[in-house]
Amino acid sequence: MIVLSGTIGAGKTSLTQMLADHLHSQAFYESVDDNEILPLFYKDPKKYGFLLQMYFLNKRLEEIKNASSNPTDVLDRSIFEDPLLFKLNADLGRATSTEAEIHESLVQNMMEELPEVPQKKNPDLLICVQVSFDTMLERIKKRGRSYEQIDEDPSLYEYYLSLNQRYSEWFDKYDKSPKLAIDGDKYNFVEDQDAQAHVLKMVDAKLKELSII
């Protein structure tokens, strides 16, 4: 399976649909608009942070199970990003360090590949869409989710800034599968058809290199 990664507003959902259409495969999306816990988290992060991560962990494992039989199915978020996000919340005082450690340990244990279990959990390819902080803020404002807006909660500025910085470090250290970085500022595949065609060629080349297509 192919998984997408990147900060809020990087274009993961759009690229997921583009890839699924291009590869004639199935797309799996992060539960956001129908997520009843997410708005509660933004109102009271410390109270609902751990519950939200458990919700996402359960949903992501379900998606991995459903997508693992087809090497070109596309998931719009990697489960391996979750510890990064929750660790940031802990560092900002929006969760406890103990909760973050328990969550990271749980992800590692649940994603460990076991030789006697035929079902694979790790992706065949991780694609990370990398965008600048300014682009990130612009897209968050453009999509208009009230609980994501800095105007509604000024503390989100520091959260988003730190999140964007940490993603680069996370991607550099990621080693669970082959990976591909896409410059989302240079190739605005969401709005530019030429950029979209170029990104699809990049992905096709990587998939051929890995003998996935």
Q: Give the whole-angstrom CA distance, residue 15 versus residue 35.
A: 21
140 annotated as belonging to a binding site for a ligand? yes
209 annotated as belonging to a binding site for a ligand? no
- What's the residue count for the chain? 213
Active site (catalytic) residues: 76
> Domains in the chain, please, with CATH?
2-209 (3.40.50.300)
Q: Give the whole-angstrom CA distance, residue 116 versus residue 119.
A: 9
49 annotated as belonging to a binding site for a ligand? no
102 annotated as belonging to a binding site for a ligand? no
pLDDT for 85-116, tens place per residue?
999 989 988 899 999 999 999 999 988 876 66
pLDDT (0 to 100) of residue 97: 94
pLDDT for 180-190, tens place per residue?
999 999 999 99
Short-list 129, 146, 124, 112, CA closest to 8: 129
Tell me if the pTM is above 0.85: yes
Take residue 29 and report the two structure tokens written for it: 């999306």
Band of residue 33 on the pLDDT scale cut at 50, 70, 90: confident
